[in-house]
A and B are shown apart, each in its own frame.
Chain A
Amino acid sequence: MSYWERNRLSHGYLLRKSIRKWSISIFRAVLLFGLCFLIVQPLLNKLSVSFMEERDLYDSTIISVPRHFTTGNYTKVAELIQYKTALFNTFWVSLLSSVLQIISCTMIGYGFARYKFPLKNVLFACVMLTIIVPPQTIMSSLYLHFQFFDFVDFFGIYKLITGKGITQVSLIGNGAAYFMLAATGMALRSGLYIFMLRQYFRGVPKELEEAAYVDGCGKIRTFVQIMLPDARPMLTSVFLFSLVWQWTDNFYGSLFFRKITLLTDNLQSIPEKLMDVRTNTPATTAYGQMMTATGMLMTIAPLLILYVFAQKGFVESLSQTGIKM
């Protein structure tokens, strides 16, 4: 049966339906293409600049297509920011801290969503406080706290009373302090992840867990085997956020990772490093900014590759959702 025959039999319904379907998808395609272009265009500018030679910058006939194509900028920037070491360090630091963050935040969020306990609201207000107060506010005292960290006097009570610590160790420099913050839900934007996961777990039907408990499943096993698989899209986005924010953060980086070279360490100082040693003349502003743009692209690129792999967590979970109502 041809399309038109089927259309006639359905009294024009089929045609109307397919017109509607097509117009929606055309509208969607135009809209998404426009928005994507809006987002990508600044990056494309950077990309085209990063392949130019310096003299192309001063040629007013060149806007976006380089006349003297070169990949020399990339090799030069890679040398300036110690790309290989920095990339490797940033990778493991971000990965470790996001894994710690995701474990701690999921546990805390679940606890807030599912159990009633005394002072719960006060404790949750503390979570909100850690989101609202930006880390810059408490930077100096946080630094001092970890500069003279005390494993025996963990909460600093003894020090508060007597004014001196028992066994003081400096945790600044190698990142140990930051990983402790990540493991206790105190790191960069952890409060937001706790809040997100709490809201998500509150929206999951309780009957699922009740059924598991009735069948003799313990609390931890219920959490791992029943709750976590359904939460995969949420966990994916939390993981991506923490990875990205950690990757591009240079606040905690400069505070706690002094001894470790990270990607963000040298990104700001590229223009200064371009100074010609022999003649002692600084690089021109345009040249420095061209190199900064190249460095930014080199920082972003690994994240995009990671995203392409990680976004499977969004897609696959759709078919696997296990809530049977």
Chain B
Amino acid sequence: MADNTLMPEASQPVSAPTTKRRKSSMAKRNAIAGLLWTAPFTIGFFAFMFVPLFESAFMSFSNVTIDIENHSYVKELIGLKNYDYIWNSDPYYKRQLVESLGNMGLQIIAVLIFSYFVAFLLNQEFKGRALVRAVFFLPVILSSGILVRLDTDNSLLNGIRELIQESNNAASSITGVLEDVLASGNGRISDLMQTIFDLVNSVYDIAIASGIQIIIFLSGLQTIPVSMYEASKMEGCTGWESFWKITFPMTSSLIIVNVVYSIIDFCTRSDNAVMSQVRSTMVQKMDYGQTSAMAWMYFAIIGVIVALVTFIISKWVYYYE
């Protein structure tokens, strides 16, 4: 938000030439320190990731033919042809891309609001807080790695869930009637109502999808010093004011993390439409060039979206810089 103009520089310039030299050597030392702190990443990236990433990107510009006898493949550079094909000739790619990005916006806003709200609740003091926090940590476990796949495959448990839902039908019929009344018709308001009802109906999906975001927000809320709230209370700040003046700015840097994470998680999870299309192209057509082109174009689009969103939100984020 605002620059920290209240705090003067640690050392005021006494005489111009000496401070200038000192400052530049200070900057140099800081630059070296920065490079050293981030050295593990630099080494790791160039030693392990750079070549595989480059190869994969290179593949998207070439025609890959598999040589079965030698257990290898031959790459032949063909320029932008793969990209041209998937953009102009592939019947599904563009449509699925637009559809999946369209769904993303609403889902992410719902997840962010929900997770911020729940994190705020979990940060308050009440009885049984440890237990409730443990329960809200479950989605993090359940939405990770192999467990997701096992869960969606399990028709036995899905059957049980349906049975239980059927026996609960009496309770849910009130909301069903309400939905019929409010969301029927064609006006803009009933469309909005329909969207809201869809969101409410998918609250389980949202709760499962926002497990990580809740924990990130919660840890952000915990790092706010209590003394800040005490000071604001002494000055006569209401809860509402202290939320907008303290809690929200102090957690704003993590809002970016959550937005970016939600976008990337939504786009690259394995049941995303584009990702599954990429996978099926790889399995069915065995055309690695086209597959990599699809994947890399998708990554580029995600990258642009992430950069744009970060740029826009950064304007409202408060840093001590």
Whether chains A and B associate is: yes
For chain B, residues 252 to 302, give those with C-beta under 8 angstroms from any C-beta of chain A: 253-254, 256-257, 260-261, 264, 268, 275, 292, 295, 299, 302
Taking CB atoms, residues of chain A closer than 8 Å to B171 are none
- The answer to whether A203 touches B319 (Cβ under 8 A) is yes
CA distance A307 to B215 in the complex (A): 12
Main secondary structure of the interface of A (DSSP, over half): helix
CA distance A292 to B135 in the complex (A): 22
Contact with A38, one of B38, B203, B306 (Cβ below 8 angstroms): B203
Contact with B303, one of A129, A203, A324 (Cβ below 8 angstroms): A129
Does A234 lie at the interface of the complex (its beta carbon under 8 Å from any beta carbon of B)? yes
- The answer to whether B319 touches A63 (Cβ under 8 A) is no
CA distance A290 to B256 in the complex (A): 41
CB closest chain-B residue, reference A134: B268
Taking CB atoms, residues of chain A closer than 8 Å to B101 are none
- The answer to whether A180 touches B41 (Cβ under 8 A) is no
Shortest Cβ gap from B44 to chain A (Å): 3
Taking CB atoms, residues of chain A closer than 8 Å to B222 are 233, 314, 317-318
Does A120 lie at the interface of the complex (its beta carbon under 8 Å from any beta carbon of B)? yes
CA distance A258 to B259 in the complex (A): 36
- The answer to whether A237 touches B215 (Cβ under 8 A) is yes
Which of B29-37, B77-85, B91-99, B189-197 lies at the binding interface?
B29-37
- Indicate whether A199 sits within 8 Å of B264 (C-beta atoms), given known contacts A142-B52, A244-B144, A289-B155: no
- The answer to whether B130 touches A203 (Cβ under 8 A) is no
CB closest chain-A residue, reference B218: A314
- Indicate whether A248 sits within 8 Å of B34 (C-beta atoms), given known contacts A126-B45, A205-B320: no
Does B177 lie at the interface of the complex (its beta carbon under 8 Å from any beta carbon of A)? no
CA distance A133 to B204 in the complex (A): 28
Contact with A321, one of B145, B160, B223 (Cβ below 8 angstroms): B223
Main secondary structure of the interface of B (DSSP, over half): helix
Does A147 lie at the interface of the complex (its beta carbon under 8 Å from any beta carbon of B)? no
Taking CB atoms, residues of chain A closer than 8 Å to B321 are 202, 206
For chain A, residues 238 to 259, give those with C-beta under 8 angstroms from any C-beta of chain B: 240-241, 244-245, 247-251
Contact with A36, one of B132, B219, B223, B226 (Cβ below 8 angstroms): B132
- The answer to whether B137 touches A307 (Cβ under 8 A) is yes
Contact with B40, one of A104, A116, A267 (Cβ below 8 angstroms): A104
- The answer to whether B268 touches A111 (Cβ under 8 A) is no
For chain B, residues 208 to 235, give those with C-beta under 8 angstroms from any C-beta of chain A: 208, 212, 215-216, 218-220, 222-228, 231
CA distance A155 to B46 in the complex (A): 7
B contact residues, range? 35 or more
- Indicate whether A308 sits within 8 Å of B41 (C-beta atoms), given known contacts A241-B140, A250-B145, A289-B157: no
- The answer to whether A311 touches B36 (Cβ under 8 A) is no
Does A28 lie at the interface of the complex (its beta carbon under 8 Å from any beta carbon of B)? yes
- Indicate whether A184 sits within 8 Å of B155 (C-beta atoms), given known contacts A117-B34, A200-B254: no
**Binary per-residue interface labels of chain A (27-50) against chain B in the complex, 1 for a CB within 8 Å, 0 otherwise:** 011011001101111110110010
**Binary per-residue interface labels of chain A (119-157) against chain B in the complex, 1 for a CB within 8 Å, 0 otherwise:** 010010011111111100110011001000000001110
Taking CB atoms, residues of chain B closer than 8 Å to A248 are 141, 144-147
**Binary per-residue interface labels of chain A (90-115) against chain B in the complex, 1 for a CB within 8 Å, 0 otherwise:** 00000000000000100110111011
For chain A, residues 181 to 235, give those with C-beta under 8 angstroms from any C-beta of chain B: 181, 183-186, 192, 194-196, 199-200, 202-207, 210, 214, 219, 230-231, 233-234
- Indicate whether A237 sits within 8 Å of B227 (C-beta atoms), given known contacts A142-B48, A154-B47: no
Pick the 10 closest A-B CB pairs, nearest first.
A184-B44, A111-B37, A115-B34, A248-B145, A117-B34, A138-B52, A141-B52, A233-B222, A111-B38, A117-B31
Binding site for B on A (CB under 8 A): 25, 28-29, 31-32, 35-36, 38-43, 45-46, 49, 57, 63-64, 104, 107-108, 110-112, 114-118, 120, 123, 126-134, 137-138, 141-142, 145, 154-156, 160, 180-181, 183-186, 192, 194-196, 199-200, 202-207, 210, 214, 219, 230-231, 233-234, 236-237, 240-241, 244-245, 247-251, 264, 267-268, 285-286, 289-290, 292-293, 296, 299-300, 303-304, 307-308, 311, 314-315, 317-319, 321-325
Q: 20 extra interchain contacts, Cβ-Cβ under 8 A, other than A184-B45, A249-B145? A: A31-B121, A41-B161, A46-B157, A116-B34, A117-B30, A123-B38, A127-B41, A141-B52, A181-B48, A202-B321, A214-B10, A240-B140, A241-B215, A248-B141, A249-B144, A250-B146, A307-B137, A318-B222, A318-B226, A322-B225
Binding site for A on B (CB under 8 A): 7, 10, 27, 30-38, 40-49, 51-53, 55-56, 118, 121, 124, 126, 130, 132-142, 144-147, 149-151, 153-157, 160-161, 163-164, 167, 203-204, 207-208, 212, 215-216, 218-220, 222-228, 231, 250, 253-254, 256-257, 260-261, 264, 268, 275, 292, 295, 299, 302-303, 306, 318-321
